[in-house]
C-alpha cells in the first residue's frame, strides 16, 4: 500500500515541488501536475486543482512569473517560469529540506 | 528585482479582477481538456468517463476558484464595492434621509474645511518662491513683554555676520504719495528694501532692472522700482517709463524698472525704494521698525541656524545689557507671523476639537436616522445573517452606506467651502486685520491638506453614523434569529438616542438666543448715538512720510512735529475756505473709536472711588465743529494750549457716572495708568475741569458700556503716527474726498491721506463681520432644527411601525384614539420637553457667563434685555409645536391601520 501523506503536510512541500519542477523548464499548470506525479512516482497524489492557488501565491511572492503561450499541438496555455528570486528561494528551500530529511533519517536510524 | 516583479504581479492581481477571473477559467479549462485527452489516450476511457474522472481528480472547480479569488487579496474589496453600490442605491431609495442627513453632514464638513483652510492660510509655512521653505525671518523676541522688538537696525548690522543664513536683508513698510503719469497724487504701498530681497524672490523685471546694492549707498541717486499694478494704472503702461523721474512724497526718484504682475514681495507691496542700512552711529533700539529676512545656507537646518543666532543674541546681551538683556533673536519660517508661545497651537487645537465635535454631534443624529432605516430593514439583515454573514460583515455594510452618504456630503461641503472662501475669505481677513492688502502667499483655493482633512472628517462622520447604529442593531441578531422573532422587533432606541435628540433640541432652542444676542449687537451698533449728525461729517486719517527715520535726533523730531502741525493747520484752514465746508477740526481718535482709557481720581472728593474714563485730545474748535456747545462752564481757549495750563472739559456721562450728578466745574482731577494712580498719585499733575459738554461718541461703538469722557486740548508740535481730521460739510461729505487729497498734497507733498470715509460708516466693516457670524449661526440653527425634526420623525415613524400590531389590537378592542395617541406621544413629548428645558438652562448659563465677562460688565444680562425673555419662551413653545407636528404624520398613519390588517401582518 503506498504512503498517503496528509494534505497539510503536502501543501507545505507543494511549493518546493513546483519550484523544483520549473527549474528544469517553463511549463503550464497541467504539465507541472503531471511532472510532480511522475517524479514522486505516484507517491504524492496531488489534488490537481490545488496546484493553481499555489501557483498564484508563488507568483504574488515574485518567485515565478507567467505568460500566455501555445503548446506543441497549438493550444493556448499559461506558461510559468522561475524568476531569479525563485531560483534563489529554491536553493534555500532545498538546502533546508535536505538538512531536515538528513536529521529525520538520523533519528529514524538510531531508534 | 524580485520585489518589483512581486509588486507588479500583485498590482495585476489587484486591479485586473475580471481579467484574472477569465484567466483562471481558461487555465482550468485547459487543464481539464488535457487531463481528459490523457485519460482517453492512456486508459482507453470513453470521452465522457474521462471527463468525469478528470473533474473528480481536479477536486471542486468552484472551491479552487474561490480560494484563488481570496488569494488575490480582493475578497474584502469586492465585498466593499458591492456595499458601496448598495449604499448608492439606498441614497436614491430614501431621498428624504439623503437630503437631510447629507446636507447636515455637508454643513459640518463645510465648516471644518473653511476652518482648516483659514488656519492654513494664516499659519501656512509654504512660501510660493523657489526654496520657499528655507526662507526665514529673524525676530527679536522680548521675553519680558512677550512681544516682538522690531527696532532692530543695530542688531541687523550684527546679524549680517551670521554664517548660517545667506542673502540677509531687511525691509520696512513705507507708504508714500506717488504722482502718476497724469500728475494725480495717490498713496502707494511701498517697501523700503535691501537689494538682497530680489535674490530671495528672484523674479526678472518686466522692464529695466531691480534694485541693487549701489542704490543703497549714501549719496546714491534716489531710485524707485514700480510694481505692475502701479505701472499699468498710474502710468498707463508707459513702455518708456524707465529712466523717467517720478514724484514721490516731497522728492523725486528715477524709475529703474517695472516688476511683472503678481510680484509683491516682501508682503503686499507695489513699489520698492532702496533701504539704507549702513547708517553711521546707529544705537541699540534706535531707529524705526524693520523686518529682517534671509535664506538658510545650503545644508543648514532651522535648529543649527537658531543655535548660531542664540549665540549672537548672548553676545549682544553681554555688550548691551541695558537694552538687550531680555531680547532673544529667533529664526522663523518667513510666513510665520510671530514667535509661537504656544497660544496659536492651543487655539488651533481647540478649534479642531470643536470642529470634530460638531461633525460628531451632527453625524450622531444622522446615525439616528440611519438606525431607524436599518431597524426597518431588520428582516433583510436577519436573512443576511442567516445566510452566513458575520456581524462584522453587516456592520461593514452599514458603514459603507454611511460612507457613500458622507462622501457625497464631503463633495458638497468642499464645493461650498471653496465658494465661501472665494467670496468671504479675503474680505474677512481684510476686515479682521484692518488692511486693504493681504500677503501675497495667502491662497484661498482649497489646499490638499484641507481636502484630506475634510475627507478624514467624512470618514469620522461615516464611522459615527454607520458603525454606531450597525453595532447596536446587530447586537443579539443571532438570538433574535434563533428565537424567530423577525419582524416582531427586538431592537429599541436606547438611552444614547434619547440623549442625542435631547441635545439636538437643546441646541435648537439655545442657538437662536445667540442669534438674537448678535442681532441685538448689530442693532446697538447701527443705532449708536454719536451725539451729532455723523452722516454730515467726513473722517480723514492722515499719514506723513519719514516719521520713522532712524537717524532722527530729538531736535529733528521736534522740528518735524512742528512742521507736521503747521501742515495740518494749513490743510485745516484751506479746507475751511472750501465751498460747502462748514468746519474742520482735529482729534487723536474719531468719535466711536477706541480711546485712551485711564483711571482718574477727583482730587476734591477724596472719598470718591477711582473711576475708569476715556480721554481724547482735541483741537479747540472741536465742540464748535461738532455743533455741541459747552453746556456749563467754558470752552477751550488758545491760552489753554500752553503746556502748563492743565485744564480739561468733561462730558455728561462723567457728570452722571463720576460726579453722581453734581456740577464738576471747578473740581480738580488726576489721572494716569492704573499702576501710576495706585503708587505715586501725588506725583501726577492735577487738572481743573472748566466745562461740560454732551456725550460725543467717546464710548467705543464696539463696546456696550457708557464711558465717562475727559477732553484735553491737543498740544501742538507733538508727533502723531496718524493724525485725524473731521470735516463738516453741507452736502454729501464723500463728494469732497478727492478735494481733500488734492489739498493735502498741495499743502505738504509728504502729507498722505490714508483713509477717507463718512464718519457714521466707520463701523461698517465691524457690522459686516458680525453679519457674517450671524449668518453662520443661523445656518447652524437651521441645520440643528431640521436634524432634530428629522430625528424625532424617524424615531416616531419607527416606534409606530413597530407597534402597528399593538395599535391594531388596541383599536380593535375599542381603545379611543386619544388613548392611543397619548401612549405614542409620551416618549417624544418627554424628549422635546427635556430638550427645551436643557436649552433654557443653556441660555441661562450663557447669560450668566456673559454677564461675568468684562466685555459685558455693567450692562444688561449678556446684552439681552428682559423684553427678550417672552420672545424666547414664545420660540420654545413654537419649537414644541413644530416637534409635535413632526409626530402627527406617523400617528395618523398608525390610527388608519385596520385592526385586521395589523393582525394579518403577524
pLDDT of residue B634: 92
How far, in Å, CA of B30 to CA of A18, rounded?
18
For residue range B625-664, what is the model confidence (pLDDT) as tens digits?
Answer: 999 999 999 999 888 888 788 899 999 999 998 888 889 9
A73 falls within a domain? yes
How far, in Å, CA of B778 to CA of B790, rounded?
18
How far, in Å, CA of B824 to CA of B894, rounded?
10
Distances (CA, A) of B814 to B809, B810, B819, B888, B900: 9, 6, 10, 21, 13
Inspect the interface and report whether the beta carbons of B10 and A60 lie closer than 8 Å.
Answer: yes
The full set of domain ranges for chain B reads 2-73, 79-124+342-487, 132-335, 492-528+763-906, 534-762
- Report whether A111 contacts B60 (CB < 8 A): no
Inspect the interface and report whether the beta carbons of A52 and B68 lie closer than 8 Å.
Answer: yes
- Report whether B851 contacts B862 (CB < 8 A): yes
Residue whose C-alpha cell reads 403577524 in the numeric block: B906
How far, in Å, CA of B441 to CA of B443, rounded?
6
A63 falls within a domain? yes
How far, in Å, CA of B789 to CA of B767, rounded?
32
For residue B6, the chain A residues in CB contact (below 8 A) are: 60-62, 85
Domains held by chain A: number = 1
Cα first-last separation, chain B: 66
- The boundaries of the domain holding residue A45 are 7-110
Name the residue facing A48 among B23, B59, B67 (closest C-beta).
B59
Nearest to A16 by CA among A34, A41, A36, A38: A36
Nearest to A65 by CA among B8, B68, B27: B8
- Report whether B518 contacts B773 (CB < 8 A): yes
Name the residue facing A65 among B5, B61, B67 (closest C-beta).
B5
For residue B71, the chain A residues in CB contact (below 8 A) are: 53, 56-57, 60
Residue B823 has pLDDT above 80, yes or no: no
Nearest CA in chain B to A69: B27
For residue A83, the chain B residues in CB contact (below 8 A) are: 2, 5
- Report whether B255 contacts B206 (CB < 8 A): no
Chain B interface disruption, residue of A46, A49, A66, A69, most B CBs within 10 A: A49
Q: What is the largest CA-CA distance in chain A?
A: 55
Q: What mean pLDDT is predicted for residues A59-65?
A: 88
Nearest to A46 by CA among B515, B521, B647, B58: B58
Q: What is the largest CA-CA distance in chain B?
A: 136
pLDDT of residue A4: 37
Name the residue facing A62 among B9, B67, B71 (closest C-beta).
B9
Residues 6+ apart with CB under 8 A from A56: B13, B68, B71, B72
For residue A52, the chain B residues in CB contact (below 8 A) are: 24, 27-28, 64, 68
Nearest CA in chain A to B29: A77
Nearest to B255 by CA among B276, B234, B284: B234
pLDDT of residue B72: 66
**Model confidence band, residue B689 (pLDDT cutoffs 50, 70, 90):** very high
Residue B456 has pLDDT above 80, yes or no: yes
For residue range B550-605, what is the model confidence (pLDDT) as tens digits?
Answer: 455 667 777 777 888 888 889 999 999 998 899 999 998 899 888 888 888 888 77
Chain B interface disruption, residue of A35, A52, A58, A66, most B CBs within 10 A: A52
Nearest CA in chain B to A61: B6
A56 falls within a domain? yes
Residues 6+ apart with CB under 8 A from B565: B716, B717
A2 falls within a domain? no
Phi, psi of B517 (to 5 degrees): -60, -45
Give the HSE-up count for residue B4: Cα atoms under 13 Å, Cβ half-sphere.
Answer: 3
pLDDT of residue B899: 67
What value does the mean pLDDT of chain B take?
Answer: 81
Residue B3 has pLDDT above 60, yes or no: no
Name the residue facing A30 among B7, B23, B30 (closest C-beta).
B30
Inspect the interface and report whether the beta carbons of A29 and B30 lie closer than 8 Å.
Answer: yes
Residue B410 has pLDDT above 90, yes or no: yes
Nearest to B308 by CA among B331, B285, B332: B331
Nearest to B366 by CA among B455, B458, B457, B461: B461
Distances (CA, A) of B516 to B203, B509, B540, B866: 52, 12, 34, 13
- List, as own/partner pairs, every contact residues B833-836 make where C-beta atoms lie below 8 angstroms and the sequence separation is at least 24, other chains included: B833/B880, B834/B502, B834/B505, B835/B501, B835/B502, B835/B503, B835/B504, B835/B505, B835/B506, B835/B508, B835/B509, B835/B788, B836/B505, B836/B506, B836/B509, B836/B876, B836/B879, B836/B880
Inspect the interface and report whether the beta carbons of A48 and B72 lie closer than 8 Å.
Answer: no
- Report whether B254 contacts B244 (CB < 8 A): yes
For residue A61, the chain B residues in CB contact (below 8 A) are: 6
Tell me the nearest-neighbour CA distance from B76 into chain A, angstroms: 18
CB contact A63 to B (< 8 Å): yes
Q: Characterize the bridge pairing of strands B327-333 and B611-618.
A: unpaired
For residue range B726-777, what is the model confidence (pLDDT) as tens digits?
Answer: 999 988 888 888 888 888 888 887 788 888 889 888 877 777 777 777 777 7
Distances (CA, A) of B577 to B563, B581, B621, B729, B758: 21, 7, 15, 12, 20
Nearest CA in chain B to A53: B68
For residue range B35-70, what is the model confidence (pLDDT) as tens digits?
Answer: 999 999 988 889 999 999 888 888 777 777 777 776
**Model confidence band, residue A3 (pLDDT cutoffs 50, 70, 90):** very low
Distances (CA, A) of A17 to A36, A104, B570: 7, 19, 106
For residue range B241-260, what is the model confidence (pLDDT) as tens digits?
Answer: 999 999 888 789 999 999 99
B123 cis-preceded (ω within 30 degrees of 0): no
For residue range B91-103, what is the model confidence (pLDDT) as tens digits?
Answer: 888 888 888 888 8
Nearest CA in chain B to A76: B30
Strand partners, B187: B177
Name the residue facing A53 among B7, B38, B64 (closest C-beta).
B64
How far, in Å, CA of B77 to CA of B10, rounded?
14
For residue A10, the chain B residues in CB contact (below 8 A) are: none
- Report whether B879 contacts B505 (CB < 8 A): yes
C-alpha cell at B178: 506717488
Share of chain B above pLDDT 90, in %: 23
A59 falls within a domain? yes
A1 falls within a domain? no
**Model confidence band, residue B623 (pLDDT cutoffs 50, 70, 90):** very high
Tell me the nearest-neighbour CA distance from A55 into chain B, angstroms: 10
C-alpha cell at B552: 532722527
Residues 6+ apart with CB under 8 A from B865: B520
**Model confidence band, residue B232 (pLDDT cutoffs 50, 70, 90):** very high
- Report whether B751 contacts B565 (CB < 8 A): no
**Model confidence band, residue B545 (pLDDT cutoffs 50, 70, 90):** low
CATH of the domain at A29: 1.10.10.10
Amino acid at each position: 500500500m503506498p504512503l498517503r501523506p496528509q494534505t497539510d503536510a503536502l501543501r507545505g512541500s507543494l511549493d518546493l515541488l513546483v519550484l523544483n519542477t520549473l527549474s528544469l523548464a517553463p511549463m503550464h499548470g497541467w504539465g507541472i501536475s503531471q511532472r510532480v506525479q511522475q517524479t514522486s512516482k505516484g507517491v504524492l497524489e496531488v489534488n490537481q486543482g490545488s496546484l493553481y492557488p499555489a501557483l498564484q501565491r508563488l507568483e504574488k511572492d515574485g518567485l515565478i512569473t507567467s505568460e500566455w503561450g501555445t503548446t506543441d499541438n497549438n493550444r493556448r496555455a499559461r506558461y510559468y517560469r522561475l524568476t531569479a528570486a525563485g531560483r534563489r528561494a529554491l536553493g534555500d528551500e532545498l538546502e533546508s529540506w535536505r538538512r531536515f530529511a538528513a536529521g529525520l533519517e538520523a533519528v529514524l536510524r538510531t531508534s | 528585482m524580485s520585489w518589483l516583479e512581486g509588486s507588479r504581479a500583485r498590482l495585476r492581481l489587484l486591479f485586473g479582477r475580471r481579467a484574472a477571473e477569465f484567466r483562471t477559467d481558461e487555465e482550468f479549462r485547459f487543464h481539464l481538456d488535457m487531463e481528459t485527452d490523457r485519460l482517453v489516450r492512456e486508459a482507453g476511457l470513453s470521452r465522457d468517463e474521462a471527463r468525469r474522472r478528470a473533474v473528480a481528480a481536479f477536486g471542486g472547480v468552484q472551491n479552487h476558484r474561490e480560494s484563488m479569488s481570496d488569494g488575490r487579496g480582493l475578497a474584502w474589496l469586492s465585498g466593499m464595492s458591492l456595499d458601496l453600490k448598495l449604499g448608492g442605491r439606498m441614497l436614491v431609495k430614501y431621498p428624504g434621509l439623503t437630503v437631510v442627513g447629507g446636507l447636515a453632514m455637508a454643513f459640518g464638513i463645510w465648516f471644518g474645511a473653511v476652518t482648516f483652510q483659514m488656519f492654513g492660510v494664516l499659519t501656512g509655512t509654504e512660501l510660493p518662491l523657489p526654496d520657499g521653505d528655507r526662507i526665514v525671518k529673524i525676530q527679536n523676541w522680548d521675553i519680558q513683554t512677550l512681544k516682538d522688538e522690531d527696532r532692530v537696525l543695530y542688531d541687523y548690522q550684527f546679524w549680517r555676520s551670521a554664517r548660517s543664513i545667506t542673502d540677509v536683508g531687511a525691509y520696512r513698510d513705507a507708504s508714500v504719495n506717488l504722482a502718476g503719469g497724469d500728475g494725480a497724487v495717490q498713496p502707494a504701498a511701498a517697501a523700503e528694501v535691501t537689494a538682497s530681497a530680489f535674490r530671495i524672490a528672484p523674479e526678472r523685471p518686466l522692464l529695466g532692472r531691480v534694485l541693487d546694492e549701489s542704490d543703497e549707498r549714501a549719496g546714491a541717486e534716489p531710485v524707485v522700482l514700480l510694481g505692475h499694478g502701479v505701472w499699468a494704472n498710474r502710468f498707463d503702461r508707459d513702455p518708456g517709463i524707465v529712466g523717467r523721474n517720478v514724484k514721490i512724497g516731497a522728492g523725486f526718484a528715477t524709475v529703474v524698472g517695472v516688476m511683472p504682475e503678481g510680484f509683491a514681495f516682501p508682503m503686499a507691496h507695489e513699489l520698492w525704494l532702496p533701504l539704507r542700512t549702513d547708517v553711521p552711529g546707529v544705537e541699540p533700539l534706535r531707529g524705526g521698525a524693520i523686518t529682517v529676512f534671509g535664506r538658510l545656507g545650503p545644508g543648514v537646518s532651522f535648529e543649527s541656524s537658531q543655535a548660531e543666532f542664540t549665540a549672537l543674541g548672548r553676545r549682544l546681551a553681554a555688550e548691551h545689557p541695558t537694552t538687550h538683556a531680555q531680547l532673544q533673536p529667533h529664526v522663523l519660517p518667513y510666513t510665520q507671523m510671530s514667535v509661537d508661545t504656544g497660544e496659536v497651537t492651543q487655539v488651533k487645537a481647540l478649534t479642531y476639537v470643536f470642529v470634530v465635535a460638531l461633525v460628531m454631534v451632527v453625524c450622531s443624529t444622522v446615525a439616528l436616522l440611519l438606525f431607524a432605516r436599518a431597524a426597518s430593514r431588520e428582516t433583510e439583515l436577519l436573512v443576511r445573517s442567516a445566510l452566513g454573514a458575520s456581524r462584522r460583515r453587516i456592520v461593514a455594510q452599514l458603514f459603507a452606506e454611511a460612507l457613500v452618504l458622507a462622501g457625497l456630503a464631503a463633495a458638497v461641503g468642499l464645493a461650498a467651502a471653496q465658494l465661501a472662501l472665494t467670496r468671504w475669505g479675503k474680505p474677512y481677513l481684510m476686515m479682521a486685520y484692518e488692511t486693504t492688502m493681504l500677503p501675497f502667499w495667502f491662497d484661498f483655493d482649497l489646499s490638499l491638506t484641507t481636502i484630506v482633512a475634510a475627507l478624514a472628517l467624512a470618514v469620522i462622520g461615516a464611522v459615527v453614523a454607520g458603525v454606531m447604529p450597525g453595532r447596536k442593531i446587530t447586537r443579539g441578531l443571532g438570538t433574535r434569529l434563533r428565537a424567530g422573532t423577525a419582524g416582531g422587533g427586538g431592537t429599541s432606541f436606547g438611552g444614547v438616542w434619547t440623549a442625542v435628540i435631547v441635545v439636538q433640541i437643546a441646541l435648537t432652542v439655545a442657538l437662536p438666543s445667540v442669534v438674537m444676542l448678535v442681532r441685538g449687537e448689530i442693532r446697538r451698533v447701527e443705532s449708536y448715538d454719536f451725539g451729532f449728525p455723523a452722516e454730515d461729517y467726513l473722517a480723514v486719517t492722515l499719514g506723513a512720510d519719514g516719521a520713522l527715520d532712524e537717524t532722527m535726533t530729538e531736535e529733528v523730531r521736534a522740528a518735524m512735529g512742528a512742521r507736521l502741525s503747521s501742515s495740518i493747520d494749513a490743510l485745516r484752514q484751506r479746507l475751511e475756505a472750501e465751498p460747502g465746508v462748514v468746519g474742520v477740526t482735529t482729534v487723536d481718535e474719531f468719535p466711536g473709536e477706541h480711546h485712551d482709557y485711564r483711571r482718574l481720581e477727583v482730587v476734591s472728593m477724596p472719598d470718591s472711588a477711582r473711576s475708569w474714563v476715556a480721554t481724547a485730545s482735541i483741537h479747540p474748535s472741536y465742540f464748535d465743529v461738532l455743533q455741541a456747545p459747552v453746556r456749563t462752564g467754558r470752552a477751550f481757549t488758545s491760552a489753554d494750549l500752553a503746556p502748563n495750563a492743565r485744564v480739561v472739559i468733561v462730558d455728561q456721562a462723567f457728570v452722571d457716572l463720576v460726579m453722581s450728578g453734581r456740577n464738576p466745574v471747578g473740581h480738580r482731577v488726576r489721572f494716569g495708568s492704573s499702576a501710576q494712580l495706585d503708587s505715586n498719585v501725588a506725583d501726577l499733575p492735577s487738572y481743573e475741569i472748566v466745562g461740560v459738554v454732551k456725550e460725543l461718541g467717546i464710548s467705543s461703538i464696539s463696546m456696550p458700556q457708557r464711558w465717562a469722557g475727559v477732553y484735553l486740548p491737543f498740544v501742538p508740535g507733538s508727533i502723531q503716527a496718524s493724525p485725524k481730521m473731521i470735516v463738516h460739510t453741507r452736502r454729501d461729505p464723500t463728494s469732497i474726498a478727492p478735494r481733500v487729497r488734492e489739498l493735502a498734497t498741495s499743502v505738504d507733498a509728504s502729507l498722505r491721506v490714508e483713509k477717507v470715509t463718512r464718519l457714521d460708516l466707520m463701523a461698517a466693516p465691524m457690522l459686516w463681520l458680525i453679519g457674517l457670524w450671524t449668518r453662520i449661526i443661523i445656518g447652524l440653527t437651521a441645520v440643528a432644527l431640521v436634524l432634530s425634526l428629522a430625528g424625532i420623525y424617524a424615531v416616531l415613524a419607527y416606534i409606530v411601525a413597530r407597534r402597528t400590531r399593538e395599535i391594531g389590537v388596541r383599536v380593535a378592542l375599542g381603545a379611543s384614539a386619544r388613548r392611543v395617541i397619548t401612549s405614542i406621544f409620551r416618549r417624544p413629548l418627554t424628549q422635546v420637553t427635556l430638550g427645551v428645558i436643557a436649552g433654557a438652562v443653556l441660555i441661562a448659563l450663557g447669560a450668566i457667563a456673559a454677564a461675568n465677562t468684562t466685555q459685558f460688565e455693567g450692562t444688561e444680562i449678556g446684552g439681552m434685555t428682559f423684553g427678550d425673555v417672552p420672545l424666547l419662551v414664545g420660540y420654545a413653545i413654537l419649537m414644541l409645536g413644530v416637534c409635535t407636528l413632526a409626530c402627527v404624520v406617523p400617528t395618523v398613519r398608525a390610527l388608519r391601520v385596520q385592526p385586521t390588517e395589523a393582525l394579518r401582518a403577524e
